[in-house]
Amino acid sequence: MTNSSSERPGEFELIAKLFAPLSAKSAGAYGLTDDAATFQPPAGEDIVVTADLLTAGIHFRAEDPPGLIAKKALRVNLSDLAAKGAAPAGYLLSLALPRHWTLPWMRSFADGLHEDQDAFSVVLFGGDTTSTTGPLTIAVTALGTLPSGTMMRRNGAKIGDSVFVSGTIGDAGAGLAVLNGEHASIAAGDRKTLTSRYQLPTPRLALGKALRGTATASLDVSDGLLADLGHIAETSKVRIVVEADRIPLSGAWKEFGAPLLSAVTAGDDYEIAFTVPSAKRHEVLQLAHRAGAVITEIGRVETGSGVALLDSSGGEIPVSRKGYRHF
């Protein structure tokens, strides 16, 4: 991201040239020429709002391709909407740009957003830009809609519920390690699988909508499977037991060869972890299949508090750190 400042457009020219076209499908965005936008949800639906702040060196690597950085920033927000059962509608984007940003870098960044807007049927509503002496920082606020009163929260898990998770766990954490030069001998195909999971997560939007009315609690796995299940346990006032042998792991992760604890605590998976009444286990498997998603039952909800990881003998596996901590 190096270039002379004389080759760069000013703030408003940058917005008009690269970002206003991303708002074209929303009349309420006014071509990004106003201070705010308007958004009208369909009749009988609630607006769901979520926000994520991503910083270079923490949530993504500054040297990653700008299109991938843009897509990840958008997709982690869409993942939150997916876990609530919402259909995405649009987003606000704010950028704190290091002083050495370049126009080609910004074009690639905007192109990445354009591709994902088409893929996920979302539109840019607005945002803000500023300069910073620190690292690149990206703030996205995403808006979605769902039938009124149907949002899946964290606090609904009940004693006796089954615990499920979508996809596979730990790939993104392994992918970051590979990108940082670890396990250099891993096969090229496995390397691509793992690094793609870190750089380009897939929001499980179809699954989230399918779970409405069936899941009792739901969230996306961002800070680590055990840490995020801990949020459900805390807000639902229950204990969640996870069976280590049932954690879904990809072939690429197994070739990576890390300890299981690294998979369940690394974060950045952006899968959906959720609870359902045990009587609806087979029903939810069918719902997931129709949504094109793979889910795995990994545990149960019990009386008590916290999250426990059990080995094949039923003994609790000590876990000193259940996930990523921001502070």
Statement to judge: residues 217 and 94 lie in one domain: no
User: Cα(219)–Cα(228) distance, rounded to whole angstroms?
Assistant: 7
Q: Is residue 182 domain-shared with residue 141, that is, in the same domain? A: no
CB-count burial class (<10 Å; 0-12, 13-18, 19+) for 22: buried
Distance of CA 11 to the CA centre of its chain: 29
Same-domain status, 247 and 139: no
Count of domains observed in the chain = 2
**Residue 10 pLDDT:** 80
Distances (CA, A) of 34 to 31, 139, 141, 204, 297: 8, 19, 18, 33, 48
pTM: 0.93
Are residues 27 and 113 both part of a single domain?
yes
Q: How many CA atoms lie within 13 A of 242 on its CB side?
A: 29
Q: Is 148 helix (H, G, I), strand (E, B) or coil?
A: coil
Residue range(s) defining the domain that contains residue 259: 162-310
DSSP-derived pairing of the beta strands 295-302 and 239-243: antiparallel
pLDDT for residue 201: 97
- Decide if 322 is inside a domain: no
What integer pLDDT is reported at residue 3 of this predicted model?
Answer: 45
- Examine residue 154 and state whether it is found in any structural domain, yes or no: no
Question: Residue 280 sits in a domain of what CATH number?
Answer: 3.90.650.10
C-alpha 209/C-alpha 290 separation (Å) is 11
Residues 79 and 54 grouped into a single domain: yes
Distance, CA of 61 to CA of 110 (rounded, Å): 18
3-state secondary structure of 165: strand
Structure letter (DSSP) for residue 245: G
CA–CA distance from 270 to each of 47, 56, 170, 200 (Å)?
21, 18, 10, 10
What is the CATH number for 108?
3.30.1330.10
Tell me which residue has tokens 């006796």.
Answer: 160
**Whole-angstrom distance, CA of residue 14 vs CA of residue 103:** 9
138/168 same-domain check: no
Both 142 and 189 in a single domain? no
Q: Give the Å distances, CA to CA, from 287 to 132, 280, 290, 295.
A: 46, 10, 5, 10
Tens of pLDDT along the chain (327 residues) come to 544 444 678 888 888 899 999 999 999 999 999 999 999 999 999 999 999 999 999 999 999 999 999 999 999 999 999 999 999 999 999 999 998 899 999 999 999 999 999 999 999 999 999 999 999 999 999 999 999 999 999 999 999 999 999 999 999 999 999 999 988 889 999 999 999 999 999 999 999 999 999 999 999 999 999 999 999 999 999 999 999 999 999 999 999 989 999 999 998 999 999 999 999 999 999 999 999 999 999 999 999 999 999 999 999 999 987 766 655
In a domain, 259, yes or no: yes
Note whether 116 and 36 are same-domain residues.
yes
